[in-house]
Structure 1
Amino acid sequence: MRVLVATAVPVERDAVARAFPGPVPAREVPLPGVVLQRLPGGYDLLAAGVGPALAAASTATALTAAALDGAPYDLVVSAGIGGGFLPDAPLGSLVVADEITAADLGADTPDGFVPVTELGFGTVIHRPPESLVREVVSATGARAGTVLTVSTVTGTAARATALRARHPRALAEAMEGFGVAEAAAVHGVPVLELRAVSNPVGPRDRAAWRIGDALSALTAGFGKLAPALESWKTHDRTH
Structure 2
Amino acid sequence: MTLLIVTAVAPEADAIRAAANTGSTVEAVGVGAAAAAAGTARLLALAEAAGRPFRAVLSAGIGGGFPGQAPVGSTVLAVRSIAADLGADSPDGFIPLDELGFGSAIATADETLLAALQAALPHAIAGDVLTVNTVTGTAEGAQALVARYPSAVAEAMEGYGVACAATAAGLPFAELRTISNPVGPRDRAAWRLGDAFAALTKAAAALPPTP
TM class by shorter-chain length? over 0.9
Unaligned runs of 5+ in 2: none
- Whichever of the two has the greater Rg, that structure is 1
- C-alpha distance in structure 2 between counterparts of 1:112 and 1:132, whole Å: 35
Runs of 4+ deviating beyond 6 Å = none
User: Matched residues in 1 for 2:116 and 2:187: separation?
Assistant: 34
Pick from 108, 120, 130: which aligns with 1:127? Answer: 108
Distance between the aligned counterparts of 2:79 and 2:188, measured in 1? 29
Q: Identify the residue that residue 205 of structure 2 maps to in structure 1.
A: 223
2:4 matched to which residue of 1?
Answer: 4
Query: Partner residue of 1:183?
Result: 165
C-alpha distance in 1 between matches for 2:116 and 2:44: 24
> What letter is aligned with 2:96?
P
Deviations 1:173-203 (A, max 9, x none): 0000000000111100111100000000000
Aligned-pair identity (%): 56
- The residue aligned with 1:45 is 26
Preserved contact between residue 100 and residue 126 of structure 1 (Cα < 8 Å):
yes
| Amino acid across the alignment from 1:17 | R
In structure 1, what is the equivalent of residue 155 of structure 2? 173
RMSD in angstroms over aligned alpha carbons? Answer: 1.2
State the TM-score, normalized to the length of structure 1. 0.85
Which secondary structure does the structure 1 equivalent of 2:206 belong to? helix
Which of 169, 172, 184 is the equivalent residue of 1:202? 184
CA distance in 2 between counterparts of 1:41 and 1:221 reads 15
Separation in 1, partners of 2:90, 2:143: 18
Aligned residues of 2:180 and 2:191 also touching (Cα < 8 A) = yes
3-state SS in 1 of match to 2:89: strand
Corresponding residue number in structure 2 for 1:108: 89
Any residues of structure 2 matched to 1:86-105 within 5 Å, and which?
86-105=67-86
| Corresponding letter in the other structure for 1:139 | A
Q: State whether residues 7 and 47 of structure 1, in contact with CA within 8 Å, keep that contact through their aligned partners in structure 2.
A: yes
Residue 128 of structure 1: CA displacement?
1.1
Residue of structure 2 in register with 1:57 after alignment = 38
In the alignment, structure 1 segments of 5+ residues that lack a partner are 21-39, 234-239
Normalising by structure 2, we get a TM-score of 0.96
Distance, in Å, in 2 between the alignment partners of 1:116 and 1:87 is: 27
Shift of 1:48: 0.7
Letter in 2 for 1:149: T
Tell whether the 8 Å contact from 1:97 to 1:147 is kept in structure 2 after alignment. yes
Question: Partners of 2:146 and 2:110 in 1: how far apart?
Answer: 24
Q: State the alpha-carbon separation in 2 of the partners of residues 101 and 195 from structure 1.
A: 14
Question: Aligned-pair distance for 1:207?
Answer: 2.0
Residue 3 of structure 1 deviates from its aligned partner by: 0.8
Distance in 2 between the 1:220 and 1:42 partners? 17
Shift of 1:208: 1.5
Give the conservation status (yes or no) of the 8 Å contact 1:133–1:144: no
Letter of the 2:161 partner, please give it.
Answer: G
Deviations 1:51-82 (A, max 9, x none): 00011100000011111112211110100000
- Contact 2:88–2:96 (CA under 8 A) maintained in structure 1: yes
- Give 2:134's aligned residue: 152
Counterparts of 1:178 and 1:90, CA distance in 2: 22
Query: In 2, distance between residues paired with 1:194 and 1:94?
Result: 7
